Amino acid sequence: MPLKENLHYGANPNTIIKSKELRQRMTPAEKVLWKYVRNNKTGDKFRRQHPINIFIADFYCHEKKLVVEVDGGIHNLPEQKDYDIGKALVFERFGIKVPRYTNDEVMKYPEAVVEDILKVLKER
């Protein structure tokens, strides 16, 4: 399947394969958020575990150039924080905005997270 440069930003085949694997094993928080954003429920199309360049975005709305990241506890580790910063910088280089939410936020306050995402979508 040929990749659309403007949709995947040069993602390589290994990143594509990894993204397909991640779709099969989403975290509980990702599953909760996916129920809220799938099938254009926000008015915009989201893709889950979407390859962008050398990274995989948890959720991606191409039309609004918005990546939504859902972070578990591992993201508090210094090396993971550095990785996340680098990932966000690459996304931002493509004009993609990257709001981040914790697993706890999504699990405890899913409606508030979705409201925030809707607000960001309106700004795009």
| Domain encompassing residue 12 | 5-123
Of 12-16, 59-63, 101-105, the poorest mean pLDDT is in 12-16
Q: What whole-number percentage of the chain has pLDDT above 90? A: 79
Beta strands in the chain (DSSP E): 47-52, 55-61, 66-71, 100-102
Q: Please say if the pLDDT value at position 9 is more than 50.
A: yes
Q: Give the CATH number, domain containing residue 62.
A: 3.40.960.10
pLDDT for residue 83: 85
* Whole-Å CA distances, 92 to 56, 71, 85, 88, 117: 14, 18, 10, 6, 17
Number of domains, the chain:
1
Q: Which residues are within 8 A (CB) of 32 and not within 5 positions of it... i.e. 6 or more apart?
A: 106, 107, 110
pLDDT for residue 81: 77
CA dihedral 116, 111, 90, 96 (to 10 degrees): -50
The amino acid at residue 19 is S
pLDDT for residue 82: 84
pLDDT digits (tens, 9 = 90+) for 36-46: 999 999 999 99
pLDDT for residue 1: 40
Q: Please say if the pLDDT value at position 3 is more than 70.
A: no
Q: Please say if the pLDDT value at position 2 is more than 80.
A: no
Mean pLDDT of 65-87: 82
Confidence bin at 14 (pLDDT 50/70/90): very high
